[in-house]
Structure formats: C-alpha cells, structure tokens
C-alpha cells in the first residue's frame, strides 16, 4: 500500500504515512486491501500513460510547427545542460578558486538526467512506434 502512495505523493512526504493510516482504518481485510491496491495500481498506470501521451502530443505539435525554436528547443536545452555540466567538471578539476554549491550540482544533475532520459527515451519510443 505504501509503495503506491509513495509513487503518488513522493517517497519523502509525510502524506504517505497519513493517507496509509487512514486507508488502513477503513480497509480491514486482506481481500479489501488487495482489491484497493489493484485498483490504485490501475489508476496510476492509466495516469502515467495519459501523461506520456500528452508529452508525445506536445512534441509532435512542436515538430509540425513553423517555428525554428519550437522544433529545436529540446536539442538546444540538451546541449546547454551538457555544456554546463562539462564546464562545472573542468572548473572543479582545475586550479580555479571557484566553489559550486552542492544544491546547484544536484539541480543540474536532476535536470540533465531528466532531459537526457526524456529526449533519448522519447525519441527511441517514437522511432519504434513508427515501424
């Protein structure tokens, strides 16, 4: 149960424990819990599929647009983030007296991973669907 709620609200959130406690108060039997978890899993899977479909539709609309920027914003963001990451690596490895705060490094890491996964993962899915 808590795994489903953690996916819904985030693992670090105290909401998971609170909602899980409320659900446990009203759902007593193992069969009821299993049915609830099954339905919640289906709802989450459908919600994720809808979100992915919306992303794909936005990307398709970008590609059919007449605007150069809308067609190239994903590759430009990807190149910018890779450039910033490489710049920070060289600054950190060099002799410059320059301190990059850990929170900025974490933010850049999350952004870079998200963009790379979305760009290359999304492109792979798009190409396999066309075949």
For 78, the domain range is: 67-131
Same domain, 60 and 71: no
Same domain, 79 and 127: yes
Same domain, 32 and 85: no
Same domain, 71 and 60: no
How high is the pLDDT of residue 55?
Answer: 75
Are 2 and 16 spatial neighbours (Cβ–Cβ below 8 Å)? yes
Spatial separation of the C-alpha atoms in residues 52 and 56, rounded to whole Å: 6
Q: Which of 64, 88, 111 is the last residue of a domain?
A: 64
Same domain, 18 and 48: yes
Q: What is the average pLDDT value for the chain, to the nearest integer?
A: 76
How high is the pLDDT of residue 48?
Answer: 78
What's the pTM?
A: 0.45
How high is the pLDDT of residue 111?
Answer: 87
Same domain, 103 and 56: no
Are 83 and 128 spatial neighbours (Cβ–Cβ below 8 Å)? no
Number of domains in the chain: 2
* Owner of token pair 């890779």: 82
Same domain, 60 and 89: no
- 44-86: pLDDT as tens digits: 788 777 777 777 777 777 778 888 887 788 889 889 988 988 8
- 3-26: pLDDT as tens digits: 655 655 555 555 556 666 677 777
Spatial separation of the C-alpha atoms in residues 87 and 77, rounded to whole Å: 15
Same domain, 23 and 48: yes
How high is the pLDDT of residue 10?
Answer: 58
Q: Where are the alpha helices (DSSP H) in 2-67?
A: 2-9, 15-26, 30-64
* E strand spans, 1-117: none
Q: Which of 33, 64, 95 is the last residue of a domain?
A: 64
How high is the pLDDT of residue 131?
Answer: 58
How high is the pLDDT of residue 32?
Answer: 82
Are 65 and 71 spatial neighbours (Cβ–Cβ below 8 Å)? yes
Q: Which of 34, 64, 94 is the last residue of a domain?
A: 64
List C-alpha distances in Å: 80 to 61, 83, 87, 114. 23, 5, 10, 14
Same domain, 97 and 111: yes
């Amino acid at each position: 149960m808590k795994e489903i709620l953690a996916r819904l609200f985030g693992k670090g959130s105290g909401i998971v424990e609170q909602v899980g406690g409320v659900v446990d108060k009203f759902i007593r039997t193992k069969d009821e819990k299993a049915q609830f978890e099954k339905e919640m899993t289906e709802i989450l899977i459908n919600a994720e599929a809808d979100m992915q479909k919306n992303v794909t539709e936005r990307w398709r609309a970008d590609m059919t647009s007449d605007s150069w920027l809308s067609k190239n914003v994903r590759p430009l963001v990807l190149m910018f983030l890779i450039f910033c990451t490489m710049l920070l690596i060289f600054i950190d490895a060099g002799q410059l007296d320059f301190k990059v705060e850990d929170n900025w490094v974490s933010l850049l890491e999350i952004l870079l991973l998200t963009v790379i996964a979305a760009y290359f993962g999304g492109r792979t899915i798009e190409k396999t669907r066309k075949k």
